Structure 1
Amino acid sequence: MGLSAGGVLKLPIMKSCKVKTSNHIMKEKPIEWISVIEMPVENFVRKNEFVLSTGIGCEDKPELLEKFVRDVIQSGASVLAFATGRYIFDIPDRVLELADEHDLVIIDVPWEIRFADILQTVMHEITVDKQKEREKAEDVRHELINCVLHDKGLEEIAHSLYRHIKIPVAITDATRIVRANKHFSPVIIKAYSGEDQENKLQRTPLLDIQFSEHPLYYHMKEYKYANEVFFQLKILNNHKTQGYVIFQPSESTQLSWFVMNVLEHALTACALYFVKENAIELTEIRLKDNFVLNLAKNKTRVDEQLSSKAKLLGYDLNLSYICIVGNISYKDSKQSKKQEENPSNSSLQSMNYYIQKEITYAGKLFSRRTMTTFDEGEVILYLEADHLPYGDVANQFLDTIERRLSQLLTDVEISWGVAADSESEFAFYESYDEASTALDIGLQHHGTGERTFFSDTRINRLLMAISEESEIASIVKDTLQPLLDYDKKRQTDLIYTLKTYNKYKGNVSQTARELNLHRQSLLHRLRKIESLTKLSLIESDDSFLLELSVRLWMLNKLK
């Protein structure tokens, strides 16, 4: 504690002065200011002030003297010293009783002692005391900053903070998860972090804080929980909340100038720590992203050097991995268009964060290693494989992810392409290529929000291969051109009718139901297809040619 009323009374200048009230609390009364005041007091006296007065205007008027003392008490002053012998000779008992009742120290100063001498002496002591506190606070600042510079954590910062202010303290991140705790009530911590749903925190106005003029005062929030009061300060960096420092003084007098300054230095140290932590985390994320992306996009052999690099990032390339590629799209076409125009906006980063979070959660749930990266609206995931069929493993994993993401990202759809683990020398590259192929085929033939497994795409891959032949392209055009011309002229859709008819293997009832047509209307369309193409739907060769042509035409249309 700094300069006290007891310390002032020990000064040589105060040797002949007498304490008239509250002698037992002299050591507890802090002295921060000194002034000379006469009636009226108004707002000219500050808290913890040493007030000198001659009592002029109160001579032979005890009721005025009592009002004067009452006003000084109201101001929060620590000491009221009367110069007796000219205007006041004896301080009335009722005034002394009033001061005693409110713990105001009253001192009788002989008239011959000049106020200027008392002011000079006490101001010197206050200045010396403040300088010592400033030097001590500066030492604490260096200590707290060094905790960060020397790679120490929030626990060390909290320990150092508690050692200097002797107030229970805890440090949390922005989500109020406790990162460090020094003697702070676990019950309050539970309520503060939101775990206690029955008892809520109550905000209360800041009252009786000793240093209300301190700049930090206006950033403090006071909370009440189960009749206990504690305070909160935000840890800010570039106007963004990084976390909170919460502390619980047993009484408001603990929040001295020194304590407030130490808390301010602690906020700076914590902000610096979170900046450093975030920078390290972002660097690690970028390194992991780039590493996984290079595995997928480049023909890279898994050698000892690559395995060592992966190990530093927490990956094990000696395991087998299923490759899963997801295409992220919006259900709302307007939102999708907006996303395409600005693919690097914060909503995409936020979406990637949620997807990554759920992949990590599912990996822990199924005890499977995962490696994830994002690239131009795609999520690339390598999932640890085992002896189980890769389709079952992938489906179980994706079911868990989609079930949780459907609640977080209601306007987003993800289409998946899945490939089994590869045993080639370029295993990661080839499995990614196969998963991407499966995804492309799935988007072309099934639309968004579906899963396509590479092993189920053999016919599609065959069609894609033969569609590149110019002679086959010519046959497809000659076969379907009459239908295309008719559709364009009459605004019909004979191609889609034929596709649906082939889907249901020539079942007229099922096709009519799917197209929402009367049976006779469907038969009329089918006869029109036969007449335009000069092919019969009941002749196996003709039917095969029509189906193959439609599939190849649809494939080229969707490329």
Structure 2
Amino acid sequence: MRSHYYFSVKDILERKYFEHAKVMAGHRGLSRQVKWVHIVEVTSIKNLLNGNELILSTGLALKEEGSFLSLIHQLGACEAAALCIELDTNISTIPSAVLEWADEFDFPIIVFEKEVPFVSITQDIHAVIINQQYEMIKKLDFYAQNLNKLLLSVKHWRDILQVLHKELDVPVLFQLKEQDVKVHPLMCSSEEELFLQNYYRDKDSKDHHIVSTKVILFDQEYAELCIYRYNHPFSEYELLILDRTSTALAQYLMRELYFDEQKRLEESKWIMSWLKGDQSYDRLATFMDELNVSVHGGVVCICKTNTLDEKEMLDFTFFNLVTKSIFEQYGFKVVPERIDHDLIFILLDTRNAGNWKGRLIKAYGKIGRSGFFEKSSHSVFATGKYQFEMMDIHKSYETAKDTLAFRTKVEGGDHYYFFDDLHLFRLISIVNENVNMGEMIEEFLSPLIDYDREHDGNLMMTLKVFLSCQGSKQETSKRLFIVRQTLYHRLKKIEDLLGEDFMRSDKRVAIEFLLAAHEYLQPQSLLKKTKIQ
């Protein structure tokens, strides 16, 4: 398969004046592209070339092997196309070291065994190249006009890929952000699997027969468009065609995003009634039928992030696309909404409800690693209680709001929180509404609190970690980053202040509950004090 407007060394060998030319070395490099011709009779040229030049020489400066090697190395470094030398004018043979180097690096060395007119060769090749450039510009303009017309009626991005495939006659690969690669034209599964295996192999090896361009929306990389073939590099024309197609795809996708946003705004009122529990059964049943998927349950997630500019609808739309794609990979159909500065996701589970939480944790992790969040350290996901009935989805929303409120009470660096993990804090919250928890904490823990305050100590933290480690001194010292002797000293002090029986089961339960209550009522006082001395 030949490239469009790709003038190679092999093509030049078929031109006039090359009838008696002979390739002495570098046969595997005959597919190198030629963009210009230079006549060179000096040995220092590394600053004179831009790449892909065909070099003509009579060998005047190449009588010494060292000079010849120096020139050939410079040509290789500058990515010249080939070297053509006229024999018997100044030199009669090519040194074997030069030929060996040319074969090793696939650099064609061509000799003229008869005298040829370099000026005529230059004029002939330059005429071909200039004519190709002129034709290429006209064809690019025609291609762009056709794409613009197509954009008025196109129904799917594959229609645009078909135009690219038809023009270049090569397979096209398209990958939306966080989704699988799509191949066009469509292939049977076994053929596509083999094709993708070859593609990933060559892509990792940075093969020149693979070129790609980013599809940019809202200053974000939204997709990647790629063309690939096994047997020939791509020409400048093909790269420009790829770029024009990428622009057309961006325009099409922008239009689709706008329509999606308009549709979301129209549905917003109904979604809000669903989150409040005011929806009718008939309306909800109609909505679920339109989804055309089997739903086994659902859960509401609230995302609070500083990544989105509240004035940027486009950021919100793009974020929805990224998260929707990732959630769907893990079996959740997404219904998005925005309330003030919070992003709400109704996640409808299309898989086995038994492992919904594990799948959702993986989805949160992948979202956190995506380009949208990579620069943000203040994004959290609060997940409500899983509901098996879609009429009860408002209950999940309310518990998600509770989870968001409780998140400051939870120790740890995760960006996601689940209502199911907050039983203790929910219990403390209920108890605190009816009992003076401060007095109870003072009664049980005041000796430790007072000691830490007066001596800048760490007994509260030590006790909390010791209990969480089930009384394991080895594990406790590791988690506190202290030596065993220091831990023994602290535990002895805790015994002196709370009594030797502080690990007795009933007393231990009370202490653990009150430590959590102290953390709940004063979350920062304990969490910030983690530096152990």
TM-score scaled by length of structure 2? 0.49
TM-score by length of 1: 0.48
Flag the structure with larger Rg: 1
